[in-house]
Amino acid sequence: MARIVMKFGGTSMAGIERIRLVARQVKREWQAGHQVAVVVSAMSGETDRLVNFCREASPLYDAREYDVVVASGEQVTTGLLAIALQAIGVPARSWLGWQLPIRTSEAHAAARIIDIDTAAMDESLARGEVAVIPGFQGQGADGRITTLGRGGSDTSAVAVAAAMKADRCDIYTDVDGVYTTDPRIVPRARKIPRITYEEMLELASVGAKVLQTRSVGLAMKERVRVQVLSSFGDPDLPPTPGTLVVGEDEIGDENVESQLITGIAYDRNEAKITLTAVPDRPGAVATIFAPLSEANINVDMIVQNVAHGTGSTDVTFTVPGAELARSIDVLEKAQATIGYAALVPNTEVCKISVVGVGMRSHAGVAATMFEALAARGINILAITTSEIKVSVLIHEDYTELAVRVLHTAYGLDAEDAA
């Protein structure tokens, strides 16, 4: 007997027919003798509908009331799944965020989970009942409903798994696992059987939208074994294994050694800003990034080209595309302080990242990347690296070509499809 959490997203909960299929998947695990808690999203489209109601009612809505409104989406699917489970003979009951409770911060609409009291739920599980829990919601110390911010249901699932010391947290999605890169770009992309939390974090944050970044961070901190797998298989048969996200100790040394790169990601949602003729003096860079930081804008890649002899320099950096307008506004207001000549924005860029814990013990990963791109005439606009990642910024027109070239260069192409 294992204790497992199963999480189903909005697509899986969209309508009663799909909820019935989810119920059969849950029954399969319950019949195998496991203790099962299920975390569910709202029906797909429902959260958008509710958010729009709030915006219509007032663009400056009170986040506490917004939470009252939008949390109802998961409340509905929670009750319906409990009913659908009972209909096929599985004892089940719902546990709303305020009923467990799932205690969160009071940052309404963007709350963080503090802890989850599973005492009552554990008794219910021990009696053989399935627990159905709404994702995305909790309760603040003020006693009011909170929500975790969009996409928070993965985080709820991992937090529930941690609190109930689950053996595994299965995230059922519309893909059947994490791939070496986007299969729409590289048909030879392979499903990765096991990936470390660190790698998954890097892949998630650079555009492989399988798991919410925040949920992976929490899983790493709490050592929750997460499995990503498809929700669209035959609900009555054991599911095809997906990708297991685990600690490095579970990967095995030979895997780490043999596999230089685990995956390749791309992110088109970056924007490049170049400030020309910034005075080349100590502290100049601080005058650029301090106001951006104050405005809560995350700066990612930074390149500084010192033009010797002129006393000035061009500074290039990237910000999230959605923050470009706000960044320009902040920088224009600070023009006198910074003293740049011109601000040149560019949204036609893409960030390509190669990720793998194996690169820690191998030199030459970056060199392979630069050579492979250069051989195809792809110009690199900026570079950043971390212990397990190398990212480059290129013109967005070269995105697919760059991903394919690197996938082959690092030996990731599937053999059967070769």
User: Does 79 participate in binding its own copies (rule CB under 8 A)?
Assistant: yes
User: Does 76 participate in binding its own copies (rule CB under 8 A)?
Assistant: yes
Using CA atoms, how far residue 2 sits from 32, 172, 210, 222, 345, in Å, is 9, 18, 25, 18, 53
User: Does 150 participate in binding its own copies (rule CB under 8 A)?
Assistant: no
Scanning the structure block, which residue is given the tokens 């659908």? 84
**With contact defined as beta carbons under 8 Å apart, do 242 and 227 qualify?**
yes
**With contact defined as beta carbons under 8 Å apart, do 132 and 40 qualify?**
yes
Q: Return the range that interacts with its own copies (CB under 8 A); candidates 142-150, 174-182, 318-326, 367-375.
A: 142-150
User: Does 78 participate in binding its own copies (rule CB under 8 A)?
Assistant: yes
User: Does 86 participate in binding its own copies (rule CB under 8 A)?
Assistant: yes
User: Does 75 participate in binding its own copies (rule CB under 8 A)?
Assistant: yes
**With contact defined as beta carbons under 8 Å apart, do 396 and 171 qualify?**
no
DSSP track, 306-342: EETTTTEEEEEEEEEGGGHHHHHHHHHHTHHHH--SE
Three-state SS for 144?
coil
Q: Which two tokens stand for residue 261?
A: 């790169």
Q: Which two tokens stand for residue 411?
A: 């030996």
Size of the site for its own copies (CB under 8 A): 38
User: Does 56 participate in binding its own copies (rule CB under 8 A)?
Assistant: yes
- Decide whether 82 or 260 has the Cβ nearer to its own copies: 82
One of 11, 14, 98, 320 touching its own copies (CB under 8 A): 98
User: Does 370 participate in binding its own copies (rule CB under 8 A)?
Assistant: no
- Decide whether 16 or 374 has the Cβ nearer to its own copies: 16
Sheet (strand 194-196) strand order: 92-94, 130-134, 35-40, 3-8, 168-173, 226-230, 243-246, 194-196
Q: How far is the CB of 83 from its own copies (least distance, A)?
A: 4
- Decide whether 53 or 298 has the Cβ nearer to its own copies: 53
CA–CA separation, 272 and 259 (whole Å): 32
DSSP track, 92-120: EEE--TTTTTEEE-S-TTS--EEEE--HH
- Decide whether 49 or 165 has the Cβ nearer to its own copies: 49
Residues numbered 34 to 53 that lie near its own copies (CB under 8 A) are 50, 53
One of 66, 136, 197, 266 touching its own copies (CB under 8 A): 66
Q: How far is the CB of 15 from its own copies (least distance, A)?
A: 9
Q: How far is the CB of 128 from its own copies (least distance, A)?
A: 16
Kindly list the residues in this chain that would bind its own copies in the complex (CB under 8 A): 16, 19-20, 50, 53-54, 56-58, 60-62, 64-69, 71-72, 75-76, 78-80, 82-84, 86-87, 93-94, 96, 98-99, 143-145
